Amino acid sequence: MDTTIGVSFLDPLNDYELINRIGTGTYGDVFKARNIRSSAMAAIKIVKLDPGDITSIQQEITMMKECKHKNIVAYFGSYHRNTKLWICMEYCGGGSLQDIYHVTGPFKEKQIAYICRETLQGANILITERGDIKLADFGVAAEISASVAKRKSFIGTPYWMAPEVAAVEKKGGYNHLCDIWAVGITAIELAELQPPMFDLHPMRALMLMSKSNEYDHTLYLFSSPQHPFVTQLLTRNLIIELLDMANNPDLHSTHSMDDNDREVRIGDQGQTDTHTCRHAIDQVKFGPPLRKVTEPCPDMVSHISFLCLTCWSLRSSQHRMAIWGSGRCMSSINRDIMGVHMGACFSKVFNGCPLTIHCAVTWILPKTRDQYLILGAEEGVYTLNLNELHEDTLEKLLPQRCSWLFVMNNVLMSVSGKSSQLYSHSLTALFEQRGHKQQKQSHLSLSTNRLTERINPRKYAVTVKIPDTKGCRRCSVARNPHTDSTFLCGAVPSGLILLLWYEPLQRFLQLKHIDIRLPDSLPIFELLVLVKDEFPQLCVGVGDCAAEGGKPPSNQQLKFDIIELNGTPNSSPGTGPGAKQATQLDRDTVLIVLEKTVKIVNLQGLPSKELASELVFDFPIETLICLQDSVLAFWKHGLKGRSLHTNEVTQEITDESRVFQVLGTNRDIVLQSTPTEDPSAMTNLYILTGHESSY
């Protein structure tokens, strides 16, 4: 250990076991960890440093060591390893205030008063399981920011800044009054679930705050108490009540308020609780994804939920933290549409990916129980260990170009290679070979921001070509819940190939080949399961029902372009006008995506009587995802959610500075975003976490 700065250069993994990532901030990631010797929990912040930065933080680390107060997070020590600084601190199991108000809704006035005694901003105020208030995320950040600024164009969260801080270059300085301002902004945040100007870009907010005439300095109380705000009877029970509400949201269906709390500021009455916002994609919670009746059942190892925790998270201007849900499934369809009742959200898992990605799936390695994100890209098939995100490493699994992926138990199906052929890969064998290979040679990896040519492909992959599938351009997988059979159908130049999953051999076996001329374009390629049929039907298009007896076609009924797989197929099918996606929700409900409309029909094409028959959006829908009681429609610059029952908007996220694309919807939802102004730039990857299938 370097005693001059109090930083150890030993391997921190000899002292701490990382459990899971619980937050992401401007300066790095935060992990929940366990001390190997004492079994005590700790929070470890891992910060990337540039060479020479370690000597510049001596004063801050010394200050953190000397800061011992009941309302300040305890500092345990620091490690410098592989250009990364590991800062070990006290773990606060209650999470941050930001985690809590996303579950409970606005705080009561007395709860805000109790918190404001020692505060800066909601994401940096932590709560222990006993209800103690603790401050975190300070000190080292002041010096590290100089290093991070070399890589980021903007650092920090300006929404809590006092005007004199925002205009420091003009006014030349500030004093302790800026801290009083920050306390007031935090009070507003806890009452309104976000600070003022949070709907603006950070740079826009900073510019407005630096202008003295652009900020409303008038503050209001919910009520007019007879005694001063800060001298109320404020006890720890107020926070324990908050923790109870956060941990048991189902027992607190409505936000109870004191009589005085019901008074609001003039002009606030018109505000809606709907989560319609222009926040980052990882700010809003969603209900858990719906497991379709035709979706293949995952193996039991993959179905176990690993990391469904309410955790400490950090806030940054460019990447606001992911909110880790409780993992509880929605028990009732008629939930309040606010995001605070939902249990999952998009969490960034990789920043600055250089790959050209076409598809993505997730898989859990049975031996280690680690979950992996598997990416199919132009450069090959790559994996990311979601339990070791601090490594920021993608590893090449297969060298061939890949356009489609699907995982069945421990078998990876892919359409890959120059000839676009269907392959079957044993994932467990591939990972065993990787382990043996790494014992013989140094570890070769793909860094976050660099695609290295030194990564050697695995030449001895346990891979099998599926015969007669060269030139495969579309695939679809469906399970018949009545017979428990799982089918894979592929579109090949000569027609269709149908495969059946054979459990004893753990592989797909060819069932039949169907000679048929397919349309040149296949925007829809979906297997539909009928109760009466042994094999599924293949839908390749949807259109209006044909006119009968000279009558005009009905605008209500739709006609499926079906290829019969149970017997002799019909003649070459046509394609419906503009239909982009068909999803079988249950045994007699299908969602059809048109240009800007989602039609909900039965297998005869008639409008649904149980659900809203039509959902209309104001943008071209690119991908539709089904949640428990709603759908998420993704478009170029965001998403919008609508209830399947009431057609009400449940969420809306718009960010015209990013282009979003859904990469995978099998078991876990994987999303990527790219800067709008530079489509060739590196991408960020997100995964929907916090629900039963996530890691």
Residue with tokens 């510049």: 56
- Which tokens sit at 510? 């060819």
27 is in an annotated binding site: yes
Segments in 193-334 forming alpha helices (H): 202-209, 237-247, 300-303
H/E segment holding residue 436: helix 427-440
CA 122 – CA 185 distance, rounded (Å): 9
Amino acid at 594: L
CA 513 – CA 499 distance, rounded (Å): 9
352 is in an annotated binding site: no
Comparing CA positions, the residue from 344, 357, 341 lying closest to residue 394 is 357
CA 476 – CA 90 distance, rounded (Å): 48
Q: Three-state SS string across 516-531, please?
A: CCCCCCCCCCEEECCC
Q: Is 163 helix (H, G, I), strand (E, B) or coil?
A: helix
Q: Within a 13 Å sphere around the CA of 416, how many CA atoms are in the beta-carbon half?
A: 28
Q: CB neighbours (10 Å) of residue 449?
A: 12
Q: How far is CA 396 from the centre of its chain?
A: 23
26 is in an annotated binding site: yes
551 is in an annotated binding site: no
122 is in an annotated binding site: no
477 is in an annotated binding site: no
Amino acid at 508: F
45 is in an annotated binding site: yes
Count Cβ atoms within 10 A of the Cβ of residue 544 and give its class: 0-12 exposed, 13-18 middle, 19 or more buried.
Answer: middle
CA 399 – CA 107 distance, rounded (Å): 53
Q: Which residues contact 180 (CB under 8 A, 6 or more apart)?
A: none
327 is in an annotated binding site: no
Q: CB neighbours (10 Å) of residue 442?
A: 7
Count Cβ atoms within 10 A of the Cβ of residue 153 and give its class: 0-12 exposed, 13-18 middle, 19 or more buried.
Answer: exposed
- Which tokens sit at 623? 């991908």
**Which amino acids are annotated as binding site for ATP, given as ranges?**
22-30, 45
**Which amino acids are annotated as binding site, given as ranges?**
22-30, 45
